[in-house]
Structure formats: C-alpha cells, structure tokens
Amino acid sequence: MIACVPASYLSPHPGRGLTFQPGLTILTFAFHHSTGTETGNRRSIPFWRNKMASVVVVGTQWGDEGKGKIVDLLTGYADCVVRFQGGNNAGHTLVVDGKKFVFHLIPSGILYENKKCFIGNGVVLDPKVLIEELDGLAANGMPISPERLTISEHTHIIMPYHRMLDGASESAKKEGAKIGTTGRGIGPAYGDKVLRCGIRAADLLDESLFRDMLAENVAEKNFLLEKKYNAAPIDFEEILREYSAYAERLAPYIGNVAVELEEARKAGKNILFEGAQGTQLDIDHGTYPFVTSSNTTAGNACTGSGFGPAHIDEVIGIVKAYTTRVGEGPFPSELFDETGETIQKKGGEFGATTGRKRRCGWLDTVVVREAVRLNGITGMAITKLDVLSGLDTLKIADSYEVNGRRTAVMPPTIHQIQAAQPVYEEVPGWQEDIGAVRSIDDLPQTARDYVKRMEDLTGTPAMLVSVGPDRAQTLLLRNPFA
C-alpha cells in the first residue's frame, strides 16, 4: 500500500502527526527553502523500526553544540555508544541531576551501567587521558570493566612527541596563520597515521614491534624538534617505560570493534555513534585550514568504526540556537558587541577542554544547511534555546554577501569566507525563562516561531529542543530509536 504525505508527517511533533503502520511505503514531498522547489522522496517504514536502529549524532557548526548532553540522553534508548573520530580535543559535558561530567575520550554513554561503549579506529587516543578518565569514574563509584568499553586495535595512539610538535608548530606560525589548536597532539597524530608511521593500540601490545616503531619515530621527531623547532629532544627509554605501563593497563580493553559492532547489530541492538567537533571543523568540508584533522561528518561514523554504511538509519544534527567557535578562523555571524558578550556569559561559553572563551554570534543557517547536506541529517536537536531568553530581537543569517555577490552556500576559499558579510533576517525574541518548560506547546509563541523558522530555513524537522544543561531539561519531539 502507498500513501502520499508531506515529509514532516514522518517526524511529527506530539499531537501534530500521523502514525503509520510498519511496512507501509510512503511518498513524501517537502518544500526546500534554499532552492524554492518541491521534491518528492520515497521512503519505506521498515518492519524492524521499533526493534533496532543505528543513529549518528554530529555537530553542525564549529563544535560544542551540546553533543555530550544529547548523546547521554539518547543513550537511554541505545545499547552501544561509539566514538569514531577526534580525540581528547573534544570536551563533552553532561549534567545529570545537577552533577556535571566532562568526557574527552570516553563515549558520553558511559554513565549508564548496562551500555557498551566503543572507541573506534578513527579516534586518536592519548592513553594517559583515557586512564585519567577511567580513574575519575572509578573514584566516583563507577569502575569501568573491559565488558563496558572496547578500544579498537586499530586506534592510533597519541605520543608525547605529537603534543610537543602540536605546540611547536603553532608557536612557529605567524599571527593570523595560527589555528588555535587544543594542543593535544591531534594534528601530528593524524599526520603520522596518513604518513603510515603511526603507532596503533595493537602495536603497543607487541613489545618488540612497539620498540622498533618507537625508535624510528623518536629519531625522526628529535630531528624535527631540535633542527626545525630548536626545542629539547625526547627520550626514547622514558617513553618506552611510560607507554609499556599504559599498554599493560589498557590491554584488557583492546579488541576488534568492527566485529563487536557487527555482532551487536545482528543481535538487534540499538547503536549510537557520537561525533566530536562540528561540520565546519571537518578536514575536507570545513573552513580549511582552520579545522581539526579528522572528518567530523557522518560518513566517518562508518569508516571510523568499521560499520557498514547501509546499516545507518538516522543522522541527528546538533544545532546550537546561536553559533560559537573556539580557536582561530573565520566566523561570518560573529558578534563583537554587547549582545555577543551577553550570550557568551549567559551560555557559559568557555571551552570544555581548554577553558578558552568561545566566540559567539547569531544563528547561521548557511552553516546549518551545509551540515544538513554533508551529513544527510534527518532531524535537528536544537540546544541552548534558553540562552536566547531576554533578547528583544534575534537575527538569523541565511545568506552571505561576498565581494558584492549574494551566496546561500559556504564560499570556497578562506579569503572569501573571511570577506563574507551575513545577510540577516530579524525575528522577535522572548523574555520568559524557559528552563522549566517540558513541552513544546508551553514555550512562548515567539520561541516556537524561532524553532519553526529554523526548521523552514534548513528544510529539516526538529526532533528535540534542549532548554538547559540537565538531562531533564529536554523536549523530545521524536525518538530516533522508537
């Protein structure tokens, strides 16, 4: 049987939509704001919908959109949570019953006792940081056994020389060329991976292989440190000792993530992939070179974990109701006035990893539409709507003027992005504190209109609205696992 309905009916807000029988084939149509066209789409409601799903969560902007909070919340419905890229440059904050946790490497699903977490091959892992996180959880009465966490054998390891080279190369760059990295060794570690001289988790466990690989790396890195950067050399024996101890500690956790995920999928488990950073920090699609060194977009959920692309059901894009960026690089809708400061203060916009002040600006739907397209986003999780309370009017950038020409997509070169002047529309704000609201219908009308405008301008339905940092401060409009 075939039904023809607007696409929004497939992801209804409570009380607004229809319920469909599994197995029904549905023809949908949607109005696309950016192109002004109506498109048709054929989608089947699978028979297994209520039994299992694989869902990817990604950041749509420049990171810090609130991924940690949303992953923690959705983990309630999942069986497995997988980090697939990035490293401890990430800082994911969770607040549960008023208690705050920040995770840099461990997946944000770790607070649920009966869920399995994975660190995929696409991650670069600093063992010292991971062990600190494991010890921190144990000290809080949550010891993490190897049954709860598997690290891929193929995960590349961050070494002390990666951190040193990260710092040295940033210091050597001229003002204006600095990336403003987190200094965690991320770029150099991914660099070694691509240059095929990186050390992987499994290599750490093979004593003689590790010794040989380390010796080669130390010789090369010391040449760079001493001759290029005029810095002190590193000591082979010291690193060997330190990392041999990490190897011993982490050995029980190291395994074949791709095989375990395949087994979980076949057993009908719900799998949640936790992205780090944001789409505009993607090494290919972001504001290069002011980006991180991994693919932050949804495709990497598969490559970075060994999971088959055909098994992904949904991609949820986390969209902060305004925009922030930490570190250097262009940011067209950045605010340099009092409003920017108000948002920064009210939103507590300080980096969860480095403590740096985050730059703040208006919502930019050029950026969000880019994310919708690059990730195949099926639903937006809108976060920090509460931070906008108290502003008389809000602005939304929907296109840019670049050297006298209007564009609705991100320009191709860094100079053009730097020159981009956002074209804004103004919408009315709301004064009420919305932190205690628990239903979309109880939001002030102007806040609901703002959410609706976000949906219209991005051509994407909201599946969740977050009105505060706590797990409980969430309006779940549609559950991707239900």
Catalytically annotated residues: 64, 92
Shortest distance in whole angstroms from residue 90 CB to ligand IMO: 3
Site residues (CB under 6 A) for ligand GDP, limited to 371-410: 383-384, 386-387
- Residue closer to Mg ion, measured from CB, 261 or 318: 318
Four-residue CA torsion sign, 397, 459, 470, 140: negative
- Residue closer to ligand IMO, measured from CB, 63 or 306: 63
C-alpha to C-alpha distance for 195 and 438, rounded to whole angstroms: 50
Total residues at the site for ligand GDP (CB under 6 A)? 22
- Residue closer to Mg ion, measured from CB, 64 or 328: 64
From Mg ion, ligand IMO, ligand GDP, none, interface partner of 470 (C-beta below 5 to 8 A by class): none
Instruction: Indicate whether 278 belongs to the interface with Mg ion (CB under 5 A).
Output: no
Shortest distance in whole angstroms from residue 384 CB to ligand GDP: 4
Query: Which of the stretches 187-195, 287-295, 425-433, 467-475 binds ligand GDP when contact is defined by CB under 6 A?
Result: 467-475
From Mg ion, ligand GDP, ligand IMO, none, interface partner of 326 (C-beta below 5 to 8 A by class): ligand IMO
Which residues contribute to the site for ligand IMO (CB under 6 A)?
59, 62-64, 89-92, 179-182, 184, 186-187, 276-278, 281, 292-293, 326-327, 352
Site string for ligand GDP, 35-64 (x = CB under 6 A): ------------------------x---xx
Total residues at the site for Mg ion (CB under 5 A)? 3
Instruction: Indicate whether 91 belongs to the interface with Mg ion (CB under 5 A).
Output: yes
Shortest distance in whole angstroms from residue 71 CB to Mg ion: 12
Instruction: Indicate whether 64 belongs to the interface with Mg ion (CB under 5 A).
Output: yes
Q: Which of 250, 281, 301, 352 binds ligand GDP (CB under 6 A)?
A: 352
C-alpha to C-alpha distance for 349 and 356, rounded to whole angstroms: 9
Query: Which of the stretches 57-65, 120-128, 189-197, 214-222 binds Mg ion when contact is defined by CB under 5 A?
Result: 57-65
- Residue closer to ligand IMO, measured from CB, 170 or 313: 170
Query: Which of the stretches 46-54, 88-96, 177-185, 330-338 binds Mg ion when contact is defined by CB under 5 A?
Result: 88-96
From Mg ion, ligand IMO, ligand GDP, none, interface partner of 95 (C-beta below 5 to 8 A by class): ligand GDP
Instruction: Indicate whether 359 belongs to the interface with ligand GDP (CB under 6 A).
Output: no
Instruction: Indicate whether 87 belongs to the interface with Mg ion (CB under 5 A).
Output: no
